[in-house]
Structures are given as structure tokens and as C-alpha cells.
């Protein structure tokens, strides 16, 4: 089983000018690893990261958009896979940290921990869907994956925690949204 922090550190080595939309535990870890203006944190309601990211991907087809979702979050908005599969945004990459729990909310288990999210994405119409359980396999493929024609889905089977320090009020602040907007408008 992989570790979320390790996965995100490997991903960070490949990220350049993409919009990255991380949520909850992925967001706190990503912020600790790669705090940058083109990170978008402004979801406000759990489960909607991929919906916001779909809007961003449609509005800015010149940018690639990478969603860092959680399995608990995705289950709160599972229909998003069908919507994204129908819209077929070519610049859209959707990773899910699959640890079988609502980790950010205290670690309670999902109603069913052994779901095949990649199968969900595939049948919903994603161009490709992958499951990673081995860090070396992920490291070998992630560079190509984030450049592939979307929508692309990557299910990262990870252990729980450890959680990075979290400051949601700063993460969700108007200042953060302003910085993101300025970075987008400046063509970063």
C-alpha cells in the first residue's frame, strides 16, 4: 500500500504550469509539498472538487487541470464521474486517494472500503482509468499520465495518514482565491 505524501511528492516533480485542485487531506499535504499560486482550494462544499475542476478545464482549455480528490469526497458526488465522462475534457486528470475512510473527518470508515473507483470512472466514460498500489509503478507512469488525453483517472490505493498540518481558514481565504485568479489571468 502506498503513502499519500510519497505519491504527492512524486507528482510534484512532474507538475509545472497545471492547475491543481486538491481537496481535504490531499489539499493539506499538497499545500505542504507544493504551495503555489495555481493551486485551487475554493470548493466550499465537500465532494465538489472535480465539479469545480471541470468548470476550470472548460474555461481554460489551454491549461491542464489535475484534481486531487479523496474517496470519501468522491462518494459524496459520484455522479461527477458520469458528467465528466459525458463532457470529455481532454485537459482533465483526476486522482483519488483511496484509503477507505473519511480521514479528514476523523478517520471513520467508508460504508464500503473495497470499491473499484477505476472501474466506476471507466464505465462513466473516462478516456483511461488506472489503479496504483505500488509506489514504483506510480512513479514510472505518473509523468505520462498527467500529459495523456483526458479525462484520465488514477485511483491511488493508500494507507491512512499521516495528516499534514491543516489551516482551512487560510486555505479557503479570499486572498488565496485572489492569488489564484491573478495567476490564471497573468498566463502563469
Partner 1 sequence: MDDQAKDQAAEQLSGGAIMDAMKEAGVEYVLSVPDLHTSYGLLMPIADDPDLKLIRTCKEDECIGISAGLSYGDKRAVVLIQYTGFLYAQNAIRAMAAEQQKPICLMIGLLGKPPGVLPKDAKRIGVRSVEPYLDFMGIPHALIETDADVHLIPPAIVDAYENQHPTAFLIGRRPVAP
DSSP state of 158: B
Q: 124 or 152, CB closer to partner 1?
A: 124
Contact 21, 65 (CB under 8 A): yes
End-to-end, the C-alpha distance of the chain in Å comes to: 35
Cα distances (angstroms) measured from residue 100 to each of 16, 19, 109, 148: 30, 26, 6, 27
- The Cα 107–Cα 73 span in angstroms is 13
Q: 141 or 172, CB closer to partner 1?
A: 172
Q: 126 or 132, CB closer to partner 1?
A: 126
Q: 7 or 67, CB closer to partner 1?
A: 67
CB of 183 to partner 1, least distance (A): 10
CB of 155 to partner 1, least distance (A): 20
Q: 90 or 113, CB closer to partner 1?
A: 90
Q: In 10 A of CB 143, how many CB atoms?
A: 12
**22: which strand partners?**
68
CB of 168 to partner 1, least distance (A): 12
CB of 46 to partner 1, least distance (A): 8
Computed over its alpha carbons, how large is the radius of gyration of the chain?
Answer: 15
- Residues engaged in binding partner 1 (CB under 8 A): 40, 42-45, 47-60, 77, 79-80, 82-83, 86-87, 174, 177, 180-181, 184
The SS3 call for residue 130 is strand
CB of 78 to partner 1, least distance (A): 8
Find cell 491543481 and name the residue: 20
Amino acid at each position: 500500500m502506498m503513502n499519500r505524501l510519497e505519491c504527492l511528492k512524486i507528482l510534484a516533480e512532474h507538475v509545472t504550469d497545471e492547475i491543481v485542485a486538491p481537496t481535504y487531506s490531499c489539499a493539506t499535504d499538497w499545500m505542504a509539498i507544493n504551495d503555489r499560486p495555481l493551486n485551487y482550494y475554493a470548493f466550499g462544499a465537500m465532494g465538489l472538487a472535480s465539479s469545480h475542476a471541470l468548470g476550470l478545464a472548460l474555461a481554460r482549455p489551454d491549461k491542464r487541470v489535475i484534481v486531487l480528490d479523496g474517496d470519501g469526497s468522491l462518494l459524496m458526488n459520484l455522479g461527477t464521474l458520469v458528467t465528466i465522462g459525458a463532457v470529455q475534457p481532454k485537459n482533465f486528470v483526476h486522482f483519488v486517494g483511496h484509503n477507505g475512510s473519511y480521514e479528514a473527518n476523523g478517520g471513520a470508515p467508508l460504508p464500503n472500503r473495497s470499491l473499484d473507483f477505476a472501474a466506476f470512472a471507466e464505465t462513466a466514460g473516462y478516456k483511461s482509468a488506472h489503479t496504483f498500489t505500488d509506489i514504483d509503478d506510480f512513479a514510472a507512469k505518473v509523468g505520462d499520465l498527467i500529459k495523456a488525453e483526458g479525462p484520465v483517472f488514477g485511483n491511488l490505493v493508500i494507507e491512512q495518514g499521516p495528516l499534514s498540518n491543516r489551516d482551512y481558514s487560510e486555505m479557503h481565504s479570499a486572498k488565496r482565491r485572489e492569488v489564484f485568479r491573478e495567476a490564471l489571468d497573468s498566463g502563469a
